[in-house]
């Protein structure tokens, strides 16, 4: 199920920053440029610590984590290992130098994020396939939706379309049964609503829950005819 992971300690082996304990090997790079030396280590450790903090709150897909780490890097606002703010460096740089610095920083940022995501997957702290399965199971139990509605939510979370389609092709969902159960419960709350408005409200309700048109039509036909 989609329960939150326990908070991971900041001194966990995978975020300690030492090569021998599982961090990416930065020793082959020289120091002084974005993505190399001490700057690369600083980026990795900061991002890994923040990633573990986020996972201590709730599970995330790989794409959700990437977006949050990118946002975090903007807040860090640091330039190539010298502790200066990126905006300050940009103001003091001229033309090609500023553009080159910005490109190097952007590449370094994406490289650091990629390494963190890779490590989290190795440690099985991020697993999009398991997330997909647990998400559907959790959604059907707590807040049922149609297949179309669940697919839309999963795509927003960055799950690949092919993985979503594969899951639903291998796992049959009784969409009609789910829709009928929801409709019958909804009808109880519509008991005082005029009969001519019950149908339109029920159609809107089922459509908003992501049920396909044919399913909605079948349920309306069953309840009102």
Pair 17, 67 in one domain: yes
Q: Looking at mean pLDDT, say which of 3-7, 42-46, 77-81, 82-86 comes out highest.
A: 42-46
Residues 172-180, mean pLDDT to the nearest whole number: 96
Pair 218, 200 in one domain: yes
pLDDT at 209 over 70: yes
Q: Compute how many other C-beta atoms are within 10 angstroms of the C-beta atom of residue 158.
A: 16
The predicted pLDDT at position 100 comes to 76
Residues 27-35, mean pLDDT to the nearest whole number: 44
Residues 103-132, mean pLDDT to the nearest whole number: 94
Pair 107, 180 in one domain: no
Q: Compute how many other C-beta atoms are within 10 angstroms of the C-beta atom of residue 42.
A: 16
> Does a structural domain hold residue 1?
no
Closest CA to 112 of 10, 12, 23, 11: 23
223 and 179 Cβ atoms separated by less than 8 Å: no
> Does a structural domain hold residue 83?
yes
> Does a structural domain hold residue 43?
yes
The predicted pLDDT at position 199 comes to 94
pLDDT at 10 over 60: no
Pair 116, 27 in one domain: yes
11 and 23 Cβ atoms separated by less than 8 Å: no
The predicted pLDDT at position 77 comes to 64
Percent of the chain residues topping a pLDDT of 90: 63
Question: Per-residue pLDDT tens for 135-155?
Answer: 999 999 999 999 999 999 999
Choice between 17 and 180, residue whose per-residue pLDDT is larger:
180
Pair 111, 135 in one domain: no
- Phi, psi dihedrals of residue 78, rounded to the nearest 5°: -115, 150
Pair 85, 184 in one domain: no
Confidence class for position 106, pLDDT limits 50, 70, 90: confident
The predicted pLDDT at position 75 comes to 82
> Does a structural domain hold residue 181?
yes
Confidence class for position 101, pLDDT limits 50, 70, 90: confident
> Does a structural domain hold residue 4?
no
Pair 19, 100 in one domain: yes
> Does a structural domain hold residue 104?
yes
The predicted pLDDT at position 161 comes to 96
Pair 63, 93 in one domain: yes
Pair 30, 114 in one domain: yes
Pair 48, 114 in one domain: yes
> Does a structural domain hold residue 5?
no
Looking at the 3D structure of the chain, how many domains does it have?
3
Q: What is the pTM of this model?
A: 0.73
Domain, as residue range, for 23: 13-122
Confidence class for position 76, pLDDT limits 50, 70, 90: confident
Pair 182, 105 in one domain: no
> Does a structural domain hold residue 42?
yes
Of 105, 122, 139, which one is at a domain's C-terminal end?
Answer: 122
Residues 102-117, mean pLDDT to the nearest whole number: 89
């Amino acid at each position: 199920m989609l329960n939150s992971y326990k908070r991971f300690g900041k001194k966990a082996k995978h975020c300690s920053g030492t090569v021998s304990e599982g961090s990416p090997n930065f020793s082959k790079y020289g120091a002084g440029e974005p993505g190399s030396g001490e700057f690369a280590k600083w980026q990795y450790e900061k991002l890994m610590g923040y990633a573990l903090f986020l996972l201590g709150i709730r599970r995330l897909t790989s794409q959700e984590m990437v977006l949050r780490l990118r946002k975090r890097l903007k807040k860090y606002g640091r330039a190539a290992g010298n502790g200066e703010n990126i905006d300050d460096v940009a103001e003091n740089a001229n033309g090609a130098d500023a553009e080159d610095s910005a490109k190097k920083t952007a590449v370094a940022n994406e490289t650091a994020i990629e390494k963190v995501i890779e490590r989290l997957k190795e440690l099985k702290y991020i697993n999009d396939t398991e997330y997909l399965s647990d998400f559907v199971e959790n959604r059907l139990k707590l807040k049922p939706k149609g297949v179309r509605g669940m697919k839309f939510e999963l795509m927003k979370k960055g799950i690949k379309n092919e993985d979503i389609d594969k899951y639903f092709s291998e796992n049959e969902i009784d969409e009609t049964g789910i829709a009928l159960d929801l409709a019958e419960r909804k009808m109880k709350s519509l008991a005082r609503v005029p009969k001519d408005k019950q149908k339109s409200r029920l159609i809107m309700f089922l459509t908003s829950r992501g049920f396909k048109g044919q399913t909605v039509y079948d349920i309306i036909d069953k309840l009102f005819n």
